Amino acid sequence: MDFFTYHNGELHCEEVPLSRIAQEVGTPVYVYSQRTLERHAQVFTQAFANLNAMICFAVKSNSNIHILRVLAEQGIGADIVSGGELYRALKAGIPREKILFAGVGKKADEMEYALSEDIFMFNVESMEELDLLQATAKRLNKTASVALRVNPDVDARTHPYISTGLKENKFGIPMESALESYRYAHSLSCIRVRGIHCHIGSQLTAIEPFVDAFVIIKNLVRELLSENIPIEYIDMGGGLGITYDQEKPPLPTELAAAIAPHLKEVPCRLILEPGRAIAGNTGAFLTRVLFTKDNGSRKFLIVDGAMNDLARPSLYGSFHDIRPAVVREGNTEVVDIVGPVCESGDFFAKNRPLPPCHPGDILSLMSAGAYGFTMSSNYNSRPRAAEVLVSGDRYRVIRQRETYEDLTRLEELS
């Protein structure tokens, strides 16, 4: 559940009207509910409490340090994929012993940074990466704890851009070479094998792919243990979906119940890396109607938000529920909601029925707390949006809106 509700025809985040935030902070703007964020973190940790699971938030889904600080206070760790995300996680106060470093393209300087900070573990995705990590750790006189990411060739039944567990995907080590890869990793002087990692995709709406992948990983763990290769952790990644439209994803408690019998068969601690499932429905993206346009065959609402601010609809064809901040009376109209960027792909919705809207009205795109601001850009030299965190009847700006000066701050004229 979330804490975005209508009161007397006006959409609120907790006790704050969204129209007030739009008026005082301006648009476009991301608005997050702290109460929702805390609740989702608690639901996830409580669901897996009996399994003694380690929960590490996927920082790529929402990397604002204030969001990460709230999660750190709930005992959540961090799943990072870059040196920059490591910097953010540490700055937010996430303990280094709860930080996992994933990603297919780690650079030597990122490895050095992570080793110098003594993070918990690296999720390694190739033998060349493993060799670079060995050489880096040896140069620093360090030992790197690792899990190898194994690709189980399981169909996550999600959008192909966010499916990661098939042979055709760039992620992980093929299952048929996993045993030999672990033998090699175990032989290296500055590598400590501690776990096995698997992540099959994002926005999963069924439990079966999770379980299918877990059974494959469990059987590999047994093989590794039989060869005295220590496996203390099974990291099943994240990917649990949320409701954007009509989806009915499994609850964390249902996933825990499905995994529990299999986990009992191996002496390992479970690690999970939820991102969207915690942050997705904590956020809304507010945009203001600039103009209305009727070309005879289609009606458009032209808004001040754009694909550079929220890329998911253009990138994935994704659905976001769109609600007026203040409901007007009148018949609904079928409209396309489009932005000002010079691309036909700059849209938030097509053929969407909405109540009457006029220039100046505020629209709220829901479920924008994950993969919203983190995927934004300065395309068309547009300053990135502000971010706001609401707690009860108060809010604060947790990232200032960029200025024109910010756009050229790192550029130099010769």
pLDDT digits (tens, 9 = 90+) for 347-404: 999 999 999 999 999 999 999 999 999 999 999 999 999 999 999 999 999 999 999 9
Residue 343 marked ligand-binding: yes
Confidence of residue 330 (pLDDT cuts 50, 70, 90): confident
Residue 312 marked ligand-binding: yes
Answer yes or no: do 126 and 157 share one domain. Answer: yes
Is 40 within the bounds of a domain? no
Q: pLDDT by residue (tens digit) across 285-310?
A: 999 999 999 988 899 999 999 999 99
Answer yes or no: do 249 and 103 share one domain. Answer: yes
Answer yes or no: do 176 and 288 share one domain. Answer: no
Is 28 within the bounds of a domain? yes
Is 414 within the bounds of a domain? no
Answer yes or no: do 96 and 237 share one domain. Answer: yes
- In terms of residues, how long is the chain? 414
Percent of the chain with pLDDT over 90: 84
Rounded distance between C-alpha atoms, residue 124 and residue 223, angstroms: 19
Tokens 């008026």 -> residue = 23
Rounded distance between C-alpha atoms, residue 80 and residue 59, angstroms: 6
Q: pLDDT by residue (tens digit) across 53-86?
A: 999 999 999 999 999 999 999 999 999 999 999 9
Contacts 24+ apart (CB under 8 A), 132-141: 132/106, 132/108, 133/106, 133/191, 134/188, 134/189, 134/190, 134/191, 136/108, 136/111, 136/112, 137/111, 137/190, 137/191, 138/189, 138/190, 140/112, 140/115, 140/116
Q: Which of 226, 245, 274 is the last residue of a domain?
A: 274
Is 51 within the bounds of a domain? no
Q: Containing domain of residue 97, as a range?
A: 63-274
Tokens 């690792």 -> residue = 146
Contacts of 279 (CB under 8 A, 6+ apart): 37, 40, 57, 61, 62, 67, 369, 370
Answer yes or no: do 247 and 140 share one domain. Answer: yes
Confidence of residue 153 (pLDDT cuts 50, 70, 90): confident
Rounded distance between C-alpha atoms, residue 291 and residue 357, angstroms: 10
Query: So what's the pLDDT on residue 296?
Result: 86
Answer yes or no: do 253 and 287 share one domain. Answer: no
Pairing of strands 362-365, 322-324: antiparallel
Ranking 159-163, 165-169, 235-239, 345-349 by mean pLDDT, the lowest is 159-163
Give the distance, in angstroms, between the CA of residue 72 and the centroid of all CA atoms in the same chain: 16
State how many domains the chain has.
Answer: 2
- For the annotated catalytic residues, the residue numbers are 342
Higher pLDDT, 45 or 203: 45
Query: So what's the pLDDT on residue 329?
Result: 87
Higher pLDDT, 94 or 157: 94
Residue 276 marked ligand-binding: yes
Please say if the pLDDT value at position 338 is more than 70.
Answer: yes
Answer yes or no: do 268 and 301 share one domain. Answer: no
Q: Which of 255, 274, 293 is the last residue of a domain?
A: 274
Residue 17 marked ligand-binding: no
Residue 405, sorted as left (phi over 0), alpha (psi -120 to 50) or beta, turns out to be: alpha
pTM above 0.75, yes or no: yes
Mean pLDDT across 154-164:
48
Answer yes or no: do 78 and 168 share one domain. Answer: yes
Alpha helices in 92-177 (DSSP H): 108-116, 127-139
Please say if the pLDDT value at position 158 is more than 70.
Answer: no
Answer yes or no: do 211 and 183 share one domain. Answer: yes
Answer yes or no: do 17 and 115 share one domain. Answer: no
Q: Residue 374: which CATH number?
A: 2.40.37.10
- Tokens representing 370 are 């994950």
Higher pLDDT, 158 or 334: 334
Answer yes or no: do 192 and 114 share one domain. Answer: yes
Residue 183 marked ligand-binding: no
Is 14 within the bounds of a domain? yes
Q: Which of 274, 306, 329 is the last residue of a domain?
A: 274
One-letter identity of residue 70: V
- Tokens representing 261 are 């019998």
Is 42 within the bounds of a domain? no
Work out the mean pLDDT of the chain and round it to a whole number: 93
